[in-house]
Amino acid sequence: MQPEPTTAPPTATTNSPVPENDDSRKHGLRAHEPPVPVSPAIDDAGAGRVVSAEEQLALDEAFARSLQDSAEKPRPVNRLSPPSTPSPPAVNRVSEYEQASTPPVRRREGPGFEVIKKQRSPSDKRSPIQELPNALPDADEDAQDVRSEKRAFTRLTALASWRSEYIMRTRLLRSLGRGKPVQANASTNSSRSGQSHTAKPFVEYNAQLFTTINHLHATFGAGLNKKLPRLIHGADDVGIATSSDPATGKVDSWGLSDPQQFLQFAERFAGDTQYGLGPGDIVGVPNVMDVSQPYGMIHGEGSPGGMVYYRATEEMRGRFLLSSAMSVPELGIPRISFTNEAITAVWIAKSNTLPSLTEGLLGLLSGSSQGVLTAYSLGATSNGNTREHRFGRGQVTACWALSPGVPLIAIAVIPEHSLNRQAQNRIWAVVLNALGEVFYLTKFPKRPHVERGTRLDDEGLERMAWLTGRTTGVDGSYSPRSSWNGMCLSKEQVKAETREIEDFAARKPKDFRKACVGWDMRRKLEVDFAGDD
């Protein structure tokens, strides 16, 4: 007769050691439970053999020792049956031991990744992959820069796949990053001797300017006519510009034989404050300059009584350009004091686009401290279709009184204009004055008809320039300025307008600083001509 087994707590786990005096493990199964047959997989004597009590006791002791050894190692295990329960079959004990020594697998919540076909109409030719986002929409909600989900860029070749486009762009970026030099044309002697003539990544040479270079322009050809670059460099400190060939590192003779040099405002008017500050009686700025490799250089003296100096690329010496010196109120020509006028802004064409569209009328621009904008022609070099007008080199062609008495400090002209833009009334020139007022032009001026073969003197050229300026309107501030013919003003109205312009032009900077807010002649002008209306 077997004694009753002791009852063990139901919370016993494999981590607690098995007590040695447990009666349930010494005396086999309980009386009220039937014997469990052993699996044939562990029966070594064939089917139908039952394990004896001694063999069962040996198996239990071995299993208890293995559990004690595994309990000494700190690792998570699953809970086993309490000691009070009867010993399971051998197969169940082995599988239970393997599950206890294996970390639990966390089950996935929710369905896994599933591909669902989108319903599309047969006529839809769009690519489905283009609608996929490039990044998570809520990955960075606090970022100030929002990344576009659509990447668009210009192809570098006409018939290129995405793979070849990526390879070409990667090669170009790597070459740019390491400063890869261009391949120089190998000469006959070098090819015979087998020498390598890879060009250097940079070339240093003397520009023969003897002062700081602050103006630079280069040309690389246009269209299929690509060629090595040509440079023109200038220094507005002394008003000198030279040209060079970077392939050879040599400076041309152009500009070296011109003896004309200019003094700065601080040298001519020592002790006076620049930019119309201080007492505010005169306006003076550092000399201004602009250079163009195809057409030469233009220089403006920033002192009272200053003039515009122009030297073309075909000339070894330059010339001073005509300034306003007459007054005809009936025609809208105001009297501008030459002795108080300083040149504060200049511009020269960098390509043949604008001179060609205006039939050689516009190639040079200058702005003065009296608020007058003047245009000059490049002459025969600007365009071949100027036979009817026959403009001289540096000839004055148009004048506008934009802001009388307030200096024009910056001029911006679109580098590439077209007939299509002109038909849409797009902006092609922008001018800024010292008070922050902006003026812009959308139409080209038209020169009045002149009999062919008529020779005009300086006074006739200036008169024609003012009449040409009245053929187009200038949009800007409400200050008095030159009107245009489209306003249909009478002679008395034009005369009264001209008198008002002369009154404003005679005022000094201190008067405008007292009456207006925002006088600053050191402003910078940047124009995005592609973003206009």
Q: From CA 477, how far away is CA 2, in angstroms rounded?
A: 117
| Helix extents (H) in 40-115 | 53-71, 90-101
DSSP 167: H
For residue 34, count other CB atoms closer than 10 A to its CB.
7
Q: How confident is the model at residue 472 (pLDDT cuts 50, 70, 90)?
A: confident
What sign results for the dihedral spanned by CA atoms 164, 166, 168, 170? negative
Q: Is the pLDDT of residue 107 over 90?
A: no
**Percent of the chain with pLDDT strictly greater than 70:** 69
Nearest to 71 by CA among 231, 128, 320, 63: 63
Write down the domain spans for the chain. 23-96, 215-531
What's the CA gap between 304 and 300, in Å, rounded?
11
Average pLDDT over residues 166-170: 84
pLDDT value at residue 138: 58
Q: What is the dihedral of CA 125, 131, 132, 134, to 10 degrees?
A: 120
Residue 180 pLDDT grade (very low, low, confident, very high; cuts 50, 70, 90): low
Long-range residue pairs from 95-103, CB within 8 A, at least 24 positions apart, any chain: 97/63, 97/66, 97/67, 100/14, 100/70, 101/70, 101/75, 101/77, 103/75, 103/76
Q: Which residue has the higher pLDDT, 105 or 318?
A: 318
Whole-angstrom Cα Rg for the chain: 46
Question: Which pLDDT does position 524 carry in this prediction?
Answer: 93
> Torsion angle of alpha carbons 420, 426, 428, 429, nearest 10°?
170
Give the model confidence (pLDDT) of 262-315 as tens digits.
Answer: 999 999 998 899 999 999 999 999 999 999 999 999 999 999 999 999 999 999
- Mean pLDDT across the chain: 77
pLDDT tens readout for residues 328-361: 888 888 888 888 899 999 999 999 889 989 888 9
Q: How sure is the predictor about 8, in pLDDT bands with cuts at 50, 70 and 90?
A: very low
pLDDT surpasses 50 at 48:
no
> Hey, what are 404's tokens?
């009388």
